[in-house]
Structure formats: structure tokens, C-alpha cells
Copies of this chain bind each other. A is one copy, B any other.
């Protein structure tokens, strides 16, 4: 097992800390934040999920943002409607389970939280990334931030009736940004862009959804906007903690031993943990090692319980010498922080054998 020091003040950000942007909405999640450092501060690119307040327990509401008319629409559905499946609190599905989902029960966007000490955060009053095209009418989720030169590249899931695709923006100031387009076609999420070129090309991990198969793939790019040479990198492992799905976690960390990748995995029952693998420094398509056990599991009460419990989901971290300060979403509700030793994880990876 990996030694994890969880912050005493966890969760460090909760929904109650965030003022909703929409009238008659409540914030139900402030989680799964991308992470970087900017102007001497730790920046969390928080996923804020807002839900229309519902007074009638028989009615489920689904918010959709009409980007063209800049207007929030709220669809109301009756829980008794046999057309729909309301089992998952996050989504409204077709009763026949065909298709991924019809609607989401909340709309997410990206809002920045800033901290000088990495523990106490102040949350911006406004959104940094709010749905700006029709691929985002159901929201923007799970940002990752990669700094290349003096530019910050932020990628995220764009969710709409067209499915889930992965989109990219670039910014130098976290105020304005440039739209770099949808970089992976649906269904795709959990993209991690490497922080530098390897042998003349940019690399990214991505996670296409092939029916009920959720594995991590690798792609390369000359310009960060266009991606090719798609290869499957790792797959789920039967009967293990990552038997149901795997997907990118935090932006790969360059070490002497290779690229350290912290990824998430889940069982078919949606228990989400974080694990580690090591990729060849000069050829990221070569998996050198993968840990048998997770490095972080839902154990604390704030990880076990919440809107969608039993989830730790890291989208970013800060490396300080040997310490990885991992910030991670808990229970699809709040943000927590923890620290781990990179040397310890690398030593475990050195011990681990590839099956």
C-alpha cells in the first residue's frame, strides 16, 4: 500500500462554499478539479455542478443551456414516466438502456479556486469556462490543465445531445481563453496532455467508450489540436479494483524512471480509486509497469458518502520535490487534498511486474 497523508481540513471545498450562478439553482458539486500553479498560487479548475431546485419529489429536472440564445432551459420529467430510467442520480436514461443518457440532472461548468498555501481556497465569483458552444449544452466537466511554455492548455469533457467529446482551450491569464476546438470525437473523455513533446510530437492519453469497454488509449499530435496514431495503452483488469473502467487522472509527471501516470479505475459497481503506471520516457506507448493495487481508495467518510459515494477522482496535482500534492474529487461532491511520495510510488512500480 502507498502511504497517503490526507489533509486534516478535508474536504477542502464543499458545495456550500460555492454561490450558485443561476437563480433557483443549488450547487450540488464542487469537485474533479484540474490543477496548476499560476502567479504563485495553486489554481483549482473546479467542476461546479448546479441543479434546478425541485420542491416536488415526483419531478426530476434536467437543465440544458441554449448557447445560441444564452438561455437556461429546464426540462421537467415525471418519475413515473416509463420511458425513462431515473436510477442513477447523475443522469436520466432511456428505460430500455439504449444510448448513454438523455439528460443530466445538473449542469457543470468550470470555476476557479485560488490558494496561496495549497490548503485554503478562495472561489471566484464567476465561471472561467461556461458552455460556449452546442457541444456543451449539458455542461463542461472534469478539466485537466497542462502548462507548455507560458501557455496553459485546459481540456475538458463537453457534454450534449451529440455525446461526450473532449475539447481544448488555451489561456495565458485564466481570464480570457482561445477555443482550440473539440480534440477528440465522442465518446471520449479523461484526456491527459503530456507537458512536453517526446521525440518531436505531443502526446495525450484519452479514453474512448466502446460500448461497455472503457480503456485508456494514447495519441500523438504535431500541434495539440489534431490527434492521430491512436493506440490502446491499458485495459481494465478482471476481478481487480479497475475491472470496470480505467481513464486518465492527472497530467503525466516526468521522472528519471519514465512518465508517471496516475489514472483512475472503477469496478462495475462504480467504486472509483486512483492507480499508477509508468510509461517509457522516450516512447510513451510502452507501459513499463502498472501497480497491482490502488494508490488511493475511498476510505474517509467524505469519500464514502455524498451525491455519488465511494469515489476518489483526481484530475490534477502539484509536484514539490518528492511530494505529489494530489487534489481530488470525492463522492462527486467535494474536493479533498492529500500528499504522497513520488519516490515511494516509483519504488512500488519498480517492484511491480507487468502481467
Q: Which residues of A contact B (CB under 8 A)?
A: 98-100, 135, 162-163, 165, 180-188, 206, 208, 210-213, 215, 217, 219-223, 225-232
Contacts and interface: CB of A to CB of B under 8 A. Distances in A.
Q: How many copies does the complex hold?
A: 2
A226 B232 contact: no
A159 to B, nearest CB: 12
A163 B230 CA distance: 12
Majority secondary structure of chain A interface residues (helix, strand, loop or mixed): strand
B225 A181 contact: no
Given A187-B208, A188-B185, A208-B187, A230 B100 contact: no
A98 B217 CA distance: 21
B99 A230 contact: no
B225 A223 contact: no
Given A185-B206, A185-B217, A232 B162 contact: yes
A187 to B, nearest CB: 6
Contact of A182 (B182, B187, B206, B230): B230
A135 B232 CA distance: 9
A181 B165 CA distance: 21
Contacts of A212: 98-99
A208 to B, nearest CB: 5
B226 A221 contact: yes
Contacts of A206: 185
Contact of A226 (B163, B181, B228): B228
Given A210-B162, A213-B163, A231 B98 contact: no
B226 A227 contact: yes
A208 B186 contact: yes
27 contacts: A98-B211, A99-B210, A99-B211, A99-B212, A100-B210, A100-B211, A162-B210, A162-B215, A163-B210, A163-B213, A180-B228, A181-B229, A181-B230, A182-B228, A183-B228, A185-B188, A185-B206, A185-B217, A186-B210, A187-B208, A187-B211, A211-B211, A221-B226, A222-B223, A222-B226, A226-B228, A227-B227
